[in-house]
Amino acid sequence: MELMLDTANLKDIAKGITTYPVTGVTTNPSIIKAEGAVDFFDHLKKIRGIIGRERSLHVQVVSQQCDTIILEAEKIRSILGEETFIKIPVTEEGLKAIKILSKQGVNITATAVYTTLQGILAMLSGARYLAVYYNRMLNLDIDAARVIKELSSLLWANAGNCQVLAASFKNISEITTAYANGASCCTVPLELLTTGLQMPSITKAVDDFHANWQLIYGDKTILD
């Protein structure tokens, strides 16, 4: 299983990789926009510098036509490294590009996946990850958990080199449900992880343990 950060915020990424078992960072044009008018490649180079080569970086193309998607993928890889995962939306033009690029050994994250059909087509076209848009699916009354379950079992049965990368999360329950339904990877905003660990009940439990220790031993610590 894997956990990725769905952000281009440098501070969040630095904190996230220090604190959590993060294996990669995913971005898209909207995520980049949230950082303001940053220099696109300069900013992504900074992210690469923070996460190192041992974590994956997923960068989305902007073009909607196969030939220019391929050119964008080539430019992204030439500047950010050949190991970079190229995020390509699963449209007809996107699938054409995924087929061509995956045959050339390019790492592809198929994105904007709302349906099992899209996921199957992207998997068969050679994608390494399927970015399934959990919260956006719920907003459309699409059963996101069912789609993830179906895709995960198909990927498992076919034993290929492709994983469900559940994405588009707005609350903690969506993340845990995605994992529980077979997603081998979730990409999440740092804020949701922080929220999950700052529950008052967790804080109270830890404070109670500390208070009880002090009742017995005062200021003496385990290290004294």
DSSP 164: E
Is residue 131 at the binding interface for ligand E4P, with CB under 6 A as the rule? yes
Q: Which residues are within 8 A (CB) of 159 and not within 5 positions of it... i.e. 6 or more apart?
A: none
- Which residue among 87, 149, 204, 220 is the active-site one? 87
Is residue 118 at the binding interface for ligand E4P, with CB under 6 A as the rule? no
Is residue 72 at the binding interface for ligand E4P, with CB under 6 A as the rule? no
What is the Cα–Cα distance from 81 to 197, expressed in whole angstroms?
A: 34
Distances (CA, A) of 171 to 2, 23, 113, 184: 18, 20, 19, 18
Among 84, 102, 111, 116, binds ligand E4P (CB under 6 A): 111
For residue 76, which of 90, 89, 64, 62 has the smallest C-alpha distance?
62
Q: Which stretch binds ligand E4P (CB under 6 A): 32-40, 133-141, 151-159, 198-206?
A: 133-141
Instruction: Indicate left, alpha or beta for 126 from its phi (over 0: left) and psi (-120 to 50: alpha).
Output: left
Is residue 187 at the binding interface for ligand E4P, with CB under 6 A as the rule? yes
Question: Quick check: is 87 catalytic?
Answer: yes
Q: Which stretch binds ligand E4P (CB under 6 A): 23-31, 115-123, 149-157, 195-203?
A: 23-31
Is residue 6 at the binding interface for ligand E4P, with CB under 6 A as the rule? yes
Is residue 168 at the binding interface for ligand E4P, with CB under 6 A as the rule? yes
Is residue 28 at the binding interface for ligand E4P, with CB under 6 A as the rule? yes
What is the Cα–Cα distance from 129 to 48, expressed in whole angstroms?
A: 19
Binding site for ligand E4P (CB under 6 A): 6, 26, 28, 30, 111, 131, 133, 135-136, 167-168, 187
Catalytic positions are 87
